A and B are shown apart, each in its own frame.
Chain A
Amino acid sequence: EVQLVESGGGLVQPGGSLRLSCAASGFTFTNYWMHWVRQAPGKGLAWVSRVNGIGSRTSYIESVQGRFTISRDNAKNMLYLQLNSLRADDTAVYFCARDGADGNYPDYWGQGTLVAVSS
């Protein structure tokens, strides 16, 4: 059974940093691209970033480029998202998700971790 469990969210002041983690199990982690998708309170879904199976290729939505960094540790089956220079509009539940085998659509999602940016 595919399982994704996020952690690391919390309350942070504007300009602060957080590192989100996602523990993966139930599949061969290194074989899959992984995504982060976020959802602001009461709003829809927004794709944030993705990384390939070996961690050598990444992409980001423009609004987080240069502030967020996605990475992975395949030895530990862990996905990460480093969030720097946080802004109020980064407040959201952050989901990690596995890429579908056919490509580019998340097929399994974690339960999410809440990041709240406020002074």
Chain B
Amino acid sequence: DIQMTQSPSALSASVGDRVTITCRASQSINSWLAWYQQKPGKAPKLLIYTASNLHSGVPSRFSGSGSGTVFTLTISTLQPDDSATYYCQHYKSYPLTFGGGTKVEIK
């Protein structure tokens, strides 16, 4: 199985800050990577697919990059509504696996 490792596991940042989350795959997954946002008690929401494509309705302050084994999710200007846990997920092969999550807190 392909292992996905996210860093950091948690971060605290101020409104307006630029935030970057990293996801590393245990082997090359080309660009078969998605990012999700999950708020407590809610379903995950798709943000990014194929590493850098913004899902419909997702604010443009979210962006994704990377290929192979290293990927990043960037929030260009952090907003209060962005307080959540973020997960990466590969889809190169089955089983699909997710990273451990990055909890983003607003200072």
Chain A 38-50, CB-CB to B under 8 Å as 1, else 0, gives: 0000001111001
Task: Answer whether residue A106 sits at the interface, using C-beta atoms and an 8 A cutoff.
Answer: yes
Interface residues on B, range: 20 to 34
Least CB distance from B27 to A in Å reads: 16
Question: Complex Cα distance A21/B81, Å?
Answer: 31
Is the pair A95, B49 in contact by a Cβ cutoff of 8 Å? no
Residues of B within 8 A of A103 (CB): 91
Instruction: Report B44-101 residues with CB < 8 Å from chain A CB.
Output: 44-46, 49-50, 55, 87, 89, 91, 94-101
A107 — nearest CB in chain B belongs to which residue?
B46
Question: Complex Cα distance A111/B43, Å?
Answer: 5
Is the pair A45, B55 in contact by a Cβ cutoff of 8 Å? no
Is the pair A47, B97 in contact by a Cβ cutoff of 8 Å? yes
